[in-house]
A and B are shown apart, each in its own frame.
Chain A
Amino acid sequence: MPKSWQKESVIVIAIALILVYALPFAINTFTLSILLIYGMLGLSLGLIWGFGGILCFGQTAFFGLGAYAYAISAINIGESTLPLIFSILVPAAFAALMGAMMFYGRLADVYLGVITLVVTLILFKFINSTASPIYVIGEARLGGYNGIPGFQTLNIPGRPDDYIWGDAFYYFCFAALVIVYLLVSWLLRSSFGRIAIGIRENDERMSLMGYDTRARKTVLFAIGAAIAGLAGGLFANWAEIVTPGLFSLGQSAEIIIWCIVGGLGTRLGPIIGAASLAYLKFLLGQQSMIDNTLIMGLILVLFVLFLPKGIVPAISDLWAASFGRRRKRLRKSRRGTRVISNG
């Protein structure tokens, strides 16, 4: 693993530049865009679950909130810059509030899962029941189960008539994902990230060291929600409609599967898990012989049984076993490797 963040960033950007041009030869950019968006959503849970130990069953709540925040503010503002910022801030604020309630209330593990699940359900039910015209925010009708169509989609900042769509939207999503990935990498290398990993390992020990673990978990939870929200905002632009289906439990469960299959505790794993499973689902959706949730379930079971650490850790273990041995020995003889191994 490269040692400094700068060095790693250069490598990430170089690989990203190759991929951004290579991928459209295999898959069309419209499909690629949604895979990138799901990748970002996967990364958001991968961050808080894999590095913060917070298992959130309601990551779609933040995804959906981001999408709705974008749609509602885009209708009211008629330009996309602020709405995209709102799609980050609204879910982050909501998560900060919700996280503070959970973490200061000393809820842990399974209760946390239940609460996040229930909040997602409440949002789903609530948005579903807003079909009546009385549910209006500014000029935007919430629309209930019909969702909100016809909002201003992404445009060049300050020029509402110059839309970013098609290939340009794909490049935009790719750049957004790379930036988020680099920010997450930077965060995990910072003291804040290292402390968050410490809290994942042993909450009690960290508080006996003098860290306020409740506040730190709340902040991390909000950061995860901000990333999920941005993914939601981009999704709204991709689909050009937002519906209560965004808050569905099926989607919530899928994000968890993405993280497990891709590799928990890595940054790349959840992105790869999300993109590959979403693409598989897309391919399976084109046939009607077998129900694709069945296949998703089967994949999860197979991974848990045979590759419990996920794709990315398995590949990097394999890499280390075949090529990495000499480098590792070299590194060990040098004193003080202060880098956390996180794929």
Chain B
Amino acid sequence: MVEVALETRNLNMRFGGICAVDNVDFKLNAGDLRCLIGPNGAGKSTFFKCVTGQLEPTGGQVFMRDEEVTGWSPHEIASLGVGIKTQVPSVLDGLTAFENIWLAARRFLSVTDANRMTDEVISRLSLGDIINSDVGQLGHGERQRVELGIVMAADPWLILLDEPAAGMSAKDVDSLTNIIHEMLKSAAVIIVEHDMQFIRSIASTVSVFHQGAMLIEDHVDRVMADQTVRNVYLGKKA
């Protein structure tokens, strides 16, 4: 039997009268890749935050590797071995890229192993040129890469990425595609993304959110061809 990395049952998140996440049942097997798409305000990021513990859902349950984690705080969820990248690049601005990645590795490893792991992540992401630069002074794409390094350094089995391609150049997006394929070797990956080009390039199963609910789950090509999806999300272009 395939192990389930993440599952939500009847997940609900209400803000007063607004239902941002409406009874979402979601399931992702270990080692799989899934993209979440949908128009602005569809509830993707709220769903993401409920799963990572940044918001406590008002109803329903979240399971990770068959353990119920509903209402856990972010550090407890991260401690399970879940790597999280938030929508706005969240890095430690005043510290070097090395220190950023080292701190992530140190959470799970001894000092010596963390040093080794940091070196490894730095070479895998080719961050060698900027390891001693303060992250606050780096460009947007580089900061995104440092944050991906932070996620990788913890060697997670489930990775949640909120808009990793936002504001990246075409070249950066290419390398991001490679990084995600690399991550998939050892983890299940969920990506919240707007960039359809990018989603096509990693060609995966897509879950479409609309008004807080799950509209459709299918392969990216079939989703793109679906008339309802085109109406709610893509307009007439795509």
Q: Which chain B residues border A293 with CB–CB below 8 Å?
A: none
Q: Do B78 and A207 have beta carbons less than 8 Å apart?
A: yes
Known: A201-B93, A205-B150, A207-B78. 12 other contacts (CB 8 A): A198-B92, A201-B94, A204-B74, A205-B91, A207-B74, A208-B52, A208-B90, A210-B108, A335-B131, A336-B98, A338-B102, A340-B99
Q: Which of B52, B75, B115 has the most CB of A within 10 A?
A: B75
Interface string of A203-215 (1 = CB under 8 A from B): 0111111111100
List of A residues within 8 angstroms of B84 by Cβ:
208
* Complex Cα gap A207–B54 (Å): 10
Taking the complex as formed, is B107 at the interface, i.e. its CB lies under 8 A from any CB of chain A? yes
- Which one of B73, B93, B98, B103 contacts A209 once the chains associate, using CB atoms below 8 Å? B103
Asked if B75 and A213 sit within 8 Å, CB to CB, the answer is yes
Q: In the complex, what residues of A have CB within 8 A of residue B150's CB? A: 205, 209
CB distance from B8 to the nearest CB of A (A): 19
| Top-4 shortest CB links A-B | A210-B78, A201-B92, A210-B79, A207-B75
User: By the criterion CB–CB under 8 Å, are A202 and B107 in contact?
Assistant: no
Min CB distance A156 to B, Å, is: 40
Instruction: Give 9 pairs: A residue, B residue, CB < 8 Å, sorted on A.
Output: A195-B106, A201-B92, A206-B103, A208-B90, A210-B75, A210-B154, A211-B107, A212-B75, A338-B115
Q: Are A337 and B95 interface neighbours, CB within 8 A?
A: no
B101-142 vs A, Cβ < 8 Å mask (1 yes, 0 no): 011101110010001000100000000000110000000000
User: Does A332 sit at the interface, judged by CB under 8 A?
Assistant: yes
Which residues A188-247 have CB closer than 8 A to chain B?
Answer: 191, 194-195, 197-198, 200-202, 204-213
Interface string of B28-53 (1 = CB under 8 A from A): 00000000000000000000000010
The interface residues of chain B lying within 8 Å CB-to-CB of A209 are 75, 78, 103-104, 107, 150, 154
A337 touches B132 (CB 8 A): yes
B86 interface hit (Cβ, 8 Å) = yes
Please give me the residue from chain B that is nearest to A212 by CB atom. B75
- Size bracket, chain B contacts: 20 to 34
Q: Are A197 and B95 in contact (CB under 8 A)?
A: yes
Set A191, A211, A338: member contacting B75, Cβ < 8 A: A211
| Chain A residues touching B, range | 20 to 34
A209-B78, A210-B78 given; A202·B103 CB < 8 A: no
In contact, B92 and A205 (Cβ under 8 angstroms): yes
Encode contact with A along B143-154: 1 for CB under 8 Å, 0 otherwise: 000000010001
Complex: how many Å from CA A206 to CA B111?
Answer: 17
Kindly list chain B residues whose C-beta atoms are within 8 Å of the C-beta of A211.
75, 107
CA distance A336 to B106 in the complex (A): 16
Chain A residues lying within 8 Å of B86, measured Cβ to Cβ, are 204, 208
- List residues of B (48-91) whose CB comes within 8 Å of A's CBs: 52, 73-75, 78-79, 84, 86, 90-91
| Chain A residues, CB < 8 A from B103 | 194-195, 198, 206, 209
In angstroms, Cα B105 to Cα A338, docked, is 14
Query: Which residues of A sit under 8 angstroms from B119, Cβ to Cβ?
Result: 336
Chain B residue contacts of A204, Cβ below 8 A: 74, 86, 90
Measured CA separation A185–B52 after assembly (Å)? 35
CA distance A96 to B92 in the complex (A): 26
- Tell me which residues across on chain A come within 8 A of B115, comparing CB atoms: 338
List B2-35 residues whose CB lies under 8 Å from chain A: none
State in angstroms the CA–CA spacing of A210 and B73 once bound together.
10
Contact assessment for A201 and B95 in the assembled complex, using a CB-CB cutoff below 8 Å: yes
Contact A207 B73 (CB under 8 A): yes
Smallest beta-carbon distance B84→chain A, Å: 5
Q: Do the beta carbons of B154 and A336 come within 8 Å of each other? A: no
Q: Are A208 and B95 interface neighbours, CB within 8 A?
A: no
With A191-B106, A208-B52, A211-B75 already in contact, the answer to whether A202 and B90 are too (CB < 8 A) is: yes
With a CB–CB cut-off of 8 A, which chain B residues contact A208? 52, 74-75, 78, 84, 86, 90
**Do the beta carbons of A205 and B107 come within 8 Å of each other?**
no
Q: What CA separation (Å) do A335 and B98 show in the bound complex?
A: 11
User: Which of B52, B73, B91, B99 has the most C-beta atoms of chain A within 10 angstroms of its own C-beta?
Assistant: B99
CA distance A208 to B103 in the complex (A): 11
Closest residue of chain B to A191 (Cβ to Cβ) is: B106
Mask, A325-340, CB within 8 Å of B = 1, is 0000000100111101
Are A202 and B92 closer than 8 Å at their CB atoms?
yes
Q: Which residues of A contact B75 (CB under 8 A)?
A: 207-213
The CA of A332 and the CA of B130, in the complex, are separated in Å by: 11
